[in-house]
Chains A and B, each alone.
Chain A
């Protein structure tokens, strides 16, 4: 099925370990986003990419890096995981960033626990 695929679905890391969350979409969307969801908080934007080759910081970028590898793939890297990064991470994509009418398509999420 067409959509946004995130891997892995679950991950446990030790403090200081690194990992990369993968996201791929097959809808030919231009824009891609990484959000985190914490209890009692709305979805908060970590990084986004309006188009292939561009990335920008969102509200909570500290401790993360991203790569827009090509039009399909947008990865999120934690270089040195901290317990404060325990969260559920969602990748999303939309067709065009400049037009108002396009909704997001979300991946199924990655539940990350840092111990």
Chain B
């Protein structure tokens, strides 16, 4: 079982603030890192899948970076909006997981106040 840690557990910001949170994962045998956005009463939706050290992905105001050597990924939200309120999950996969199995962190719950 891979130990995937996310911090902080929850975050409250004002509309317009930029924010970031962290996902830590085992760096040995790394294969892929996924980020998902999970709104209340909905199902998780894929944001990014990253595999290479130094990878940066961007979707609108949301971006993510990956450091596979030290085992962490950052998710950034620029100019947070109330509609960004959700739980952000990261999940890691190692090379031993040949069957596509992901290990999820507990998520960071983001609340953006208008």
Chain A neighbourhood of B44, CB < 8 A: 43, 90, 104, 106
B34 and A31 within 8 A (CB): no
User: A42-B107, A43-B89 are known contacts. Are A31 and B100 too (CB-CB below 8 A)?
Assistant: yes
Please tell me the number of chain B residues within 8 Å of chain A, measured between CB atoms.
Answer: 26
| A107 to B98 CA separation, bound complex (whole angstroms) | 23
- Please judge, given known A-B contacts A42-B106, A106-B45, whether A100 and B101 are in contact too, CB under 8 Å: no
Looking across the interface, which residue of chain A has its beta carbon closest to that of B102? Answer: A104
Question: Cβ of A48 and Cβ of B107 under 8 Å apart?
Answer: no
Q: Which residue of A lies closest to B90 (CB)?
A: A42
User: How many of A's residues come within 8 Å of B, CB to CB?
Assistant: 30
Choose from B1, B91, B100, B102 the contact partner of A50 (Cβ within 8 Å): B100
Q: How far is the CB of A100 from chain B (nearest CB, A)?
A: 4
* Residue A63 CB within 8 A of the other chain: no
**A58→B49 contact, CB < 8 A:** no
B49 to chain A, nearest CB (A): 5
Q: Are A50 and B99 in contact (CB under 8 A)?
A: yes
* A56: chain B residues within 8 A (beta carbon): 99
Cβ A98 vs Cβ B98 within 8 A? yes
Q: Judge whether A41 is part of the interface by a CB distance below 8 angstroms.
A: yes
Q: How far is the CB of B65 from chain A (nearest CB, A)?
A: 17
Q: Is B42 an interface residue (CB 8 A)?
A: yes
Whole-angstrom CA separation of A101 from B107 in the bound complex: 21
5 nearest A-B pairs in the assembled complex, by CB-CB distance: A97-B100, A103-B46, A100-B32, A106-B43, A42-B104
**10 more A-B residue pairs beyond the given contacts A58-B101, A97-B99, A103-B34, with a C-beta to C-beta distance below 8 A:** A40-B106, A42-B105, A43-B89, A96-B100, A98-B98, A101-B51, A102-B49, A104-B34, A105-B46, A106-B43
